[in-house]
Structure formats: C-alpha cells, structure tokens
C-alpha cells in the first residue's frame, strides 16, 4: 500500500447543466489532467473535488476564470482492492481517533489496483498510522 499526502482542489459550482463541463474544459485547455473527481450536490450548489496533475496551476486557471477554489491536504492511498480493505483502513484511523471527513475511490473489478482519496482530521498522523498497515 502506497500512501501519499497530496493537494486536492475543491470548487463550489451552481448546480446547473454544463458547469462541470466548463471547469473540465478550462483545465484541459491548460494542460491539466484530472486524476480523480468527486461531485456532490446539495440544495444550493454542487461541490467538485479534484485531484489533478498540477494542483497549483489548476487553482490558478480556475481562480483566473472567477471560480472560488479551496485547497485541502488529502491522502492518496494506492492499494489492491481486497475484501475488508476499507474496513481495515477505517478501523485503524478510528482506533487512533482520526476522523474521516470524506473519501472517494473507484475500482475496475475485485482484486484490481485502486486509489482511495481520504480527507482526515490529521493527514500526517493518518499517513503514519496507515503506513504501519502496509498489507
């Protein structure tokens, strides 16, 4: 299991057709790859969380276009999808009193490699705790 602390950018958008397309096109035009995305809606707006190939440049592009951008430190956990893996990760963090504020991931099929993005109450401590799992 490889665990890295990385910068994630979040953008609040009006919950309307074409808003995600707009920021995606801006990033593509700037040569920025979107490596992971999470879109959450609520009554008034959507929240788009992005892992990109260059978070500093992505932030500059989006802010330059008038979008409010917030950065956060998250853990990118690269591991093999196995039964109970999320349980082991979340139990280890809970035992250390580290809260998982949100997480997102995808896997092609059982047993494949996966990349889990986790925002915790303490990224450095969570990285240390999860580094001890290494299975």
pLDDT per residue, tens digit, the chain (135 aa), is 899 999 999 999 988 899 999 999 999 999 999 999 999 988 778 999 999 999 999 999 999 999 999 999 999 999 998 999 999 999 999 999 999 999 999 888 888 899 999 999 999 999 999 999 865
Do 69 and 9 contact (CB within 8 A), yes or no? yes
48 and 63 share one domain: yes
Could you give the residue ranges of the DSSP H alpha helices within the chain? 19-29, 55-64, 85-95, 123-131
Residue appearing with tokens 């953008």? 11
87 and 97 share one domain: yes
Do 67 and 85 contact (CB within 8 A), yes or no? no
Predicted confidence at residue 42, as pLDDT, reads: 80
Strands 2-14 and 69-80 come out as: antiparallel
Predicted confidence at residue 134, as pLDDT, reads: 66
Three-point CA angle 125, 69, 30, nearest 5°: 110
78 and 47 share one domain: no
Q: What share of the chain is helix, strand, coil (3-state, %, to 5)?
A: 30, 40, 30
The answer to whether position 85 is within a domain reads yes
The answer to whether position 2 is within a domain reads no
We report the CATH number of the domain holding residue 117 as 3.30.70.260
Q: Which of 56, 72, 88 is at the close of a domain?
A: 72
Helix then strand count (H, E) for the chain reads 4, 6
DSSP H or E run through 80: strand 69-80
Q: d(Cα 22, Cα 19) in Å, to the nearest integer?
A: 5
21 and 53 share one domain: yes
65 and 82 share one domain: no
Residue numbers of the domain that contains 121: 74-131
20 and 57 share one domain: yes
16 and 55 share one domain: yes
The answer to whether position 41 is within a domain reads yes
Count of domains for the chain: 2
39 and 20 share one domain: yes
The answer to whether position 17 is within a domain reads yes
Predicted confidence at residue 129, as pLDDT, reads: 95
90 and 101 share one domain: yes
Do 75 and 123 contact (CB within 8 A), yes or no? yes
We report the CATH number of the domain holding residue 27 as 3.30.2130.10
């Amino acid at each position: 299991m490889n665990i890295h602390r990385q910068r994630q950018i979040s953008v609040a958008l009006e919950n309307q057709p074409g808003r995600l397309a707009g920021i995606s096109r801006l990033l593509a035009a700037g040569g920025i790859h979107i490596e992971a995305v999470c879109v959450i809606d609520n009554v008034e707006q959507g929240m788009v969380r992005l892992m990109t190939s260059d978070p500093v440049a992505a932030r500059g592009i989006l802010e330059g276009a008038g979008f409010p951008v917030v950065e956060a430190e998250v853990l990118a956990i690269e591991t093999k999808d196995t039964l109970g893996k999320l349980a082991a990760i979340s139990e280890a963090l809970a035992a250390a009193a580290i809260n998982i504020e949100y997480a997102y991931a995808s896997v092609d099929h059982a047993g494949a490699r996966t990349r889990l993005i986790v925002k915790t109450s303490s990224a450095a401590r969570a990285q240390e705790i999860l580094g001890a799992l290494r299975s």
